[in-house]
Structure 1
Amino acid sequence: MDFFRFLQTIMFCICIAGGFLFLSLSYAAPEIELYFQNRQTLIETEKMIEKLREKKFICQSQMEMLKRDPKLLQIFHDKMFNVYKKASPYPEPSEQDSRKAELILKELGDIKTEDKSRWEWLKFAGKGQNRKLLFICGALLIVTAFTFLGGFNPHSNPNLGSQDKLSSGKEEEFAE
Structure 2
Amino acid sequence: MVKTADTGYMSRRLMKALEDLFLHYDYTVRDTNGGIVQFCYGDDGMDPAGMEGKNGKPLNFDRLFLRSKAICPSDGDDVILSSSDMRKILHEKLSEVGVSKLEEKDTSGNDIMSEAGFSADFIKSLQSFVEENTKLTETITEDDPKHLKNRNNFIPRISGISRRQLE
User: TM > 0.5 between the two?
Assistant: no
Structure 1-normalised TM-score?
0.26
Which has the larger share of helix?
1
Structure 2-normalised TM-score?
0.27
Q: Which has the larger radius of gyration?
A: 1
Q: Which has the higher contact order (CA 8 A, sep 6+)?
A: 1
Which has the larger share of strand?
2
